[in-house]
Amino acid sequence: MAANRTFSIIKPDATRRNLTGAVTKMLEDAGLRVVASKRIQMTRKQAEGFYAVHKERPFFDDLVAFMISGPVVVQVLEGEDAVKRNRDIMGATNPENAAEGTIRKAHAESIEANSVHGSDSDENAATEIAFFFKPEEIVG
Ligand code: UDP
């Protein structure tokens, strides 16, 4: 399969603990290349829009509050089978279920403060990339 792209967020629990580099190294070691990256403070409106798919879920309000509790690093990652490759290195949503060697096993604090976001399909990757990046900000 040709190289393609996915979207990643290093979440506030990880930036707070100064783990941006450690998480990025795990992504790079998994064969993903960072082709765009910026550290931002998400607004409530952005966080609500980004997670709109979860708005009926019981954890939605807490999740939005968490995602705006500190800076995040939004990234575009490129590599062969990028969506799956990133999901594999992230590990399960709940760190208690995450496999050894994954980012969430190594770093996540809880099911909510789980250090990273990664797109779950090529279609969502394209939508999420466009949510945060202009085409000219992505340099492959
Ligand atoms: N989340 C949560 N409680 C839950 C499930 C999810 O706080 O019971 C948060 C968690 O930060 C997760 C995000 O909501 O990463 C999105 O959930 P999803 O099921 O899409 O998990 P992911 O794709 O991030 O593994």
Give the residue from 133, 101, 109, 107 showing the smallest Cα distance to 119: 133
The string of pLDDT tens digits covering residues 22-60 is 999 999 999 999 999 999 999 999 999 999 999 999 999
Q: Which of 87, 89, 93, 127 has most ligand 1 atoms within 8 Å of CB, for mutation?
A: 93
Collect all residues with Cβ–Cβ distance below 8 Å to 47 and sequence separation of at least 6: 63, 64, 67, 68
Q: Is the pLDDT of residue 109 over 60?
A: yes
Q: Which amino acid is at 5?
A: R
- SS3 state at 80: strand
Q: Do the Cβ atoms of 48 and 64 come closer than 8 Å?
A: yes
pTM of structure: 0.97
Helix (H) or strand (E) holding 106: helix 103-107
Q: Is the pLDDT of residue 17 over 80?
A: yes
Collect all residues with Cβ–Cβ distance below 8 Å to 89 and sequence separation of at least 6: 26, 27, 30, 32, 102, 103
Which residues, judged by CB distance below 6 Å to any ligand atom, belong to the binding site of ligand 1?
Answer: 59, 63, 93, 111-112, 114, 117, 120
Q: What angle do CA 63, 69, 128 make, to 5 degrees?
A: 55
Report pLDDT for 10: 99
Mean pLDDT for the stretch of residues 92-104: 98
pLDDT-derived band at 2 (thresholds 50, 70, 90) equals low
In degrees and rounded to multiples of 5, residue 55 shows phi and psi of: -65, -20
Query: pLDDT higher for 15 or 3?
Result: 15
Distance CA 27, CA 90 (A): 8
Q: Do the Cβ atoms of 104 and 116 come closer than 8 Å?
A: yes
Mean predicted lDDT score pLDDT of the chain:
97
What is the number of the ligand 1 atom nearest to the C-alpha of 51?
Answer: 16
Mean pLDDT for the stretch of residues 59-66: 98
The string of pLDDT tens digits covering residues 80-96 is 999 999 999 999 999 99
Q: Is the pLDDT of residue 1 over 50?
A: no
